[in-house]
Amino acid sequence: MAFTSLSLAFLFLVASHGCLAQLGQQQRQGMQLLGLRGTEQHRLRAKTDCGLQSINAREADHRIEAEGGITEIWDPKYNVEFWCAGVAAVRHVLQPKGLLLPSYTSAPQMGIQGTVIPGCPETYESVSQSREQEMQRIRDRHQKIRRIQEGDIIALPAGVAHWAYNDGDTPLICVALVDKANDANQLDLDLRRFYLAGNPKGQQQSLGRQEQEQRRRPSHKQNGNVFRGFDEQILAEVFNVDIETARRLQGRDERRGNIVLVERELQVISPQYQEEEWEREQEREHERGLNGLEETICTLRLRENIASPTRADVYNPRGGRVSTINSHNLPILDWVQLSAERGVLYRNAIMAPLWNVNAHSIIYILRGSGRIQIVGNSGKSMFDDHVKEGQFIVVPQNFAVIKKASGDGLEWIAFKTNGNAITSQLAGRVSAIRNMPEEVLMNSYDISRDKARNLKYNRDEMTVFSPQSRSQREG
Amino acid sequence: MAFTSLSLAFLFLVASHGCLAQLGQQQRQGMQLLGLRGTEQHRLRAKTDCGLQSINAREADHRIEAEGGITEIWDPKYNVEFWCAGVAAVRHVLQPKGLLLPSYTSAPQMGIQGTVIPGCPETYESVSQSREQEMQRIRDRHQKIRRIQEGDIIALPAGVAHWAYNDGDTPLICVALVDKANDANQLDLDLRRFYLAGNPKGQQQSLGRQEQEQRRRPSHKQNGNVFRGFDEQILAEVFNVDIETARRLQGRDERRGNIVLVERELQVISPQYQEEEWEREQEREHERGLNGLEETICTLRLRENIASPTRADVYNPRGGRVSTINSHNLPILDWVQLSAERGVLYRNAIMAPLWNVNAHSIIYILRGSGRIQIVGNSGKSMFDDHVKEGQFIVVPQNFAVIKKASGDGLEWIAFKTNGNAITSQLAGRVSAIRNMPEEVLMNSYDISRDKARNLKYNRDEMTVFSPQSRSQREG
Amino acid sequence: MAFTSLSLAFLFLVASHGCLAQLGQQQRQGMQLLGLRGTEQHRLRAKTDCGLQSINAREADHRIEAEGGITEIWDPKYNVEFWCAGVAAVRHVLQPKGLLLPSYTSAPQMGIQGTVIPGCPETYESVSQSREQEMQRIRDRHQKIRRIQEGDIIALPAGVAHWAYNDGDTPLICVALVDKANDANQLDLDLRRFYLAGNPKGQQQSLGRQEQEQRRRPSHKQNGNVFRGFDEQILAEVFNVDIETARRLQGRDERRGNIVLVERELQVISPQYQEEEWEREQEREHERGLNGLEETICTLRLRENIASPTRADVYNPRGGRVSTINSHNLPILDWVQLSAERGVLYRNAIMAPLWNVNAHSIIYILRGSGRIQIVGNSGKSMFDDHVKEGQFIVVPQNFAVIKKASGDGLEWIAFKTNGNAITSQLAGRVSAIRNMPEEVLMNSYDISRDKARNLKYNRDEMTVFSPQSRSQREG
Residues of A in contact with C46 (CB under 8 A): 47
What is the rounded average pLDDT of the residues A256-275? 70
Give me the pLDDT at residue B390, please. 93
The span from the CA of B376 to the CA of B369, in Å, is: 23
User: In terms of DSSP bridges, do strands A123-127 and A314-316 run parallel, antiparallel, or are they unpaired?
Assistant: unpaired
Q: Do A230 and B373 touch (CB under 8 A)?
A: yes
Q: Which has more confidence, B279 or C134? A: B279
Which residues in chain C are closer than 8 Å to B143, comparing Cβ atoms? 435-436
**Region C40-51 average pLDDT:** 46
Measured N-to-C along each axis, helices C449-457 and B243-250 cross at an angle, to the nearest 10 degrees, of 90
Of B101, B219, B238, the CB nearest to C49: B219
Spell out which residues of chain A touch residue C23, defining contact as CB-CB under 8 Å: 357-358, 420, 422
Question: Which pLDDT does position A77 carry in this prediction?
Answer: 84
C144, C13, C5, C42: which is closest to C418 by C-alpha? C42
Residue C296 has pLDDT above 90, yes or no: no
Return the top range by mean pLDDT from B184-188, B268-272, C94-98, C432-436. Answer: C94-98
* Cβ <8 Å between B360 and A186: yes
Highest-pLDDT range among A235-239, B219-223, C188-192: A235-239
Lowest mean pLDDT segment, chosen from A343-347, B424-428, C371-375 = B424-428
Res. C16 pLDDT band, cuts 50 70 90: very low
For C394-414, how does the pLDDT look when each residue is reduced to its tens digit (9 = 90+)? 999 999 999 999 999 999 999
Interface test with B, best of C45, C326, C438 (most B CBs within 10 A): C45
The reported pLDDT for the residue numbered C108 is 86
3-class DSSP assignment, residue B344: strand
* Amino acid B180: pLDDT: 86
Over range A225-243, report the average pLDDT.
95
Q: Hey, which residues 227-266 in chain B have their CB within 8 Å of chain A? A: none
Residue B125, pLDDT score: 34
Give me the CATH code for the A306-472 domain, please.
Answer: 2.60.120.10
Tens of pLDDT, residue by residue over A399-436, are 999 999 999 999 999 999 999 999 999 999 888 888 88
Residue A207, pLDDT score: 61
Q: Would you place residue B127 in the very low, low, confident or very high pLDDT band (cuts 50, 70, 90)?
A: very low
CATH number for the domain formed by residue range(s) A9-294: 2.60.120.10
Greater confidence (A373 vs C111) lies with A373
pLDDT band at C306; cut points 50, 70, 90: confident
Tell me, yes or no, if A360 comes closer than 8 A to chain C by beta carbon.
yes
Residue B136's pLDDT is 38
pLDDT at A51: 75
Reported as a single tens digit per residue, the pLDDT across A255-264 is 999 999 998 7
Q: Which band of pLDDT confidence, cut at 50, 70 and 90, is reported for residue C186?
A: confident
Contact in structure between C23 and A356 (CB atoms under 8 Å): no
Mean pLDDT over C275-298 rounds to 46
Pairing of strands B109-112, B203-206: unpaired
Q: Could you tell me which chains touch chain C, where touching means 3 or more CB pairs under 8 A?
A: A, B
For residue B415, the surrounding DSSP H or E stretch is strand B400-416
Query: What number is the average pLDDT over the span B36-57?
Result: 55
Residue B422 pLDDT > 80, yes or no?
A: yes
The ipTM assigned to this model is 0.81
Give the pLDDT band (50/70/90) at residue C280: low
Domain boundaries, chain A: 9-294, 306-472
- Confirm or reject contact between C37 and chain A (CB < 8 A): yes
Q: Which residue of C17, C27, C195 is in closest CB contact with A430?
A: C17
pLDDT digits (tens, 9 = 90+) for C453-469: 999 999 999 999 999 75
Confirm or reject contact between C24 and chain A (CB < 8 A): no
Give me the mean pLDDT over the A451-474 stretch: 81
**Coarse DSSP helix, strand, coil percentages of chain C, rounded to the nearest 5 percent:** 20, 35, 45
Q: What is the model's pLDDT at position C133?
A: 39
State chain A's mean pLDDT as an integer.
Answer: 75
Chain B partners within 8 Å of A104 (Cβ): 355, 398, 424
The highest-confidence range among A91-95, A127-131, A204-208, B206-210, by mean pLDDT, is: A91-95
Judge contact between B196 and B254, C-beta under 8 A.
no
Out of A163-177, B22-36, B289-303, pick the least confident.
Answer: B22-36
Residue C34, min C-alpha distance to chain A (Å)? 6
Task: Look at B191-200, B295-304, C354-363 and tell me which has the smallest mean pLDDT.
Answer: B295-304
Higher local confidence (pLDDT), B414 or A206:
B414
pLDDT at residue A205 above 80?
no
Residue A296 has pLDDT above 60, yes or no: no
- Min Cα–Cα distance to chain C from B466, Å: 41
Residue A126's pLDDT is 35
**Average of per-residue pLDDT values in chain B:** 75
Q: Decide if C377 and B222 are in contact by the 8 Å CB cutoff.
A: yes
List, for residues A33-69, the tens digit of each pLDDT value. 222 222 233 343 444 457 788 999 999 999 999 999 9
Helix axes A438-445, A449-457, angle to 10 degrees: 110
- The reply to whether domains B9-294 and B306-472 share a CATH topology is yes
Banded pLDDT at C295 (limits 50, 70, 90)? very low
Average pLDDT over residues A236-250: 95
Average pLDDT over residues C433-453: 91
| CA distance linking residue A472 with residue C439, whole number of Å | 88
The C-alpha atoms of residue B457 and residue B352 are separated, in whole angstroms, by 14
Number of residues in chain A: 475
CA dihedral C114, C118, C124, C127 (to 10 degrees): 30
Tell me the average pLDDT of chain C.
75
In the beta sheet, which residues pair with residue B415? B340, B362
Residue B142, strand partner residues: B124
Is residue B6 over pLDDT 50?
A: no
Instruction: In whole angstroms, give the CA distance from residue C420 to residue C340.
Output: 9
Residue ranges of B 52-111 with Cβ closer than 8 A to chain A: 84-86
B130 pLDDT more than 80: no
Which of A85-89, A325-329, A355-359, C221-225 comes out lowest in average pLDDT? Answer: C221-225
pLDDT at C13 over 70: no
Q: Quick one: pLDDT at residue C212?
A: 42
Please indicate if any CB of chain A lies within 8 Å of the CB of B180: no
Nearest CB among B20, B229, B239 relative to C458 is that of: B239
pLDDT at res. C292? 34
Outline where DSSP puts E strands in C263-338: 303-305, 314-316, 320-325
For residue C225, the model assigns a pLDDT of: 95
- Predicted confidence band of residue B475 (pLDDT cuts 50, 70, 90): very low
Could you give the angle at the alpha carbon of A193 between the alpha carbons of A190 and A194, nearest 5°?
Answer: 130
Strand order across the C88-94 sheet:
C203-206, C62-66, C69-74, C88-94, C172-178, C109-112, C152-156, C303-305
Q: Kindly state the average pLDDT of the residues B125-129.
A: 35
What percentage of chain B carries pLDDT values higher than 70? 68
Q: pLDDT of A105-114, one tens digit each?
A: 888 888 764 3
Give the pLDDT confidence score for residue C78 in this predicted structure: 87
At B81-109, the pLDDT tens digits run 998 898 999 999 989 889 999 999 888 88
Give the per-residue pLDDT at A270. Answer: 46
Q: How high is the pLDDT of residue A107?
A: 87
Reported as a pLDDT band with limits 50, 70 and 90, residue B343 is very high
Chain B CB within 8 Å of residue C474 CB:
yes
Search chain B and give the residue with CA nearest C462.
Answer: B18
Q: In this predicted model, which residue has the larger pLDDT, B281 or A215? A: B281
DSSP string across B400-463: EEEEEEEEEEEEEEEEESSTT--EEESSSTTBTTTTS-HHHHHHHHT--HHHHHHHHHS----S
Decide if pLDDT at B316 tops 70.
yes
The sign one gets for the Cα dihedral C94, C95, C96, C97 is negative
Whether residue B435 and residue A14 make contact (CB cut-off 8 A), yes or no, is yes
> Alpha-carbon distance A40 to B334, whole Å?
11
pLDDT exceeds 60 at position C335: yes
By percentage, how much of chain C surpasses pLDDT 90? Answer: 43
Q: Indicate the pLDDT class of residue B147, thresholds 50, 70 and 90.
A: low
CB proximity under 8 Å: B 378-407 to A: 378-382, 384, 396-398, 400, 402, 404
Those chains having 3 or more beta-carbon pairs within 8 angstroms of chain B are A, C
pLDDT value at residue A150: 72
Q: What is the DSSP letter of A142?
A: E
Rounded Cα–Cα distance for residues B50 and A441 (Å): 50
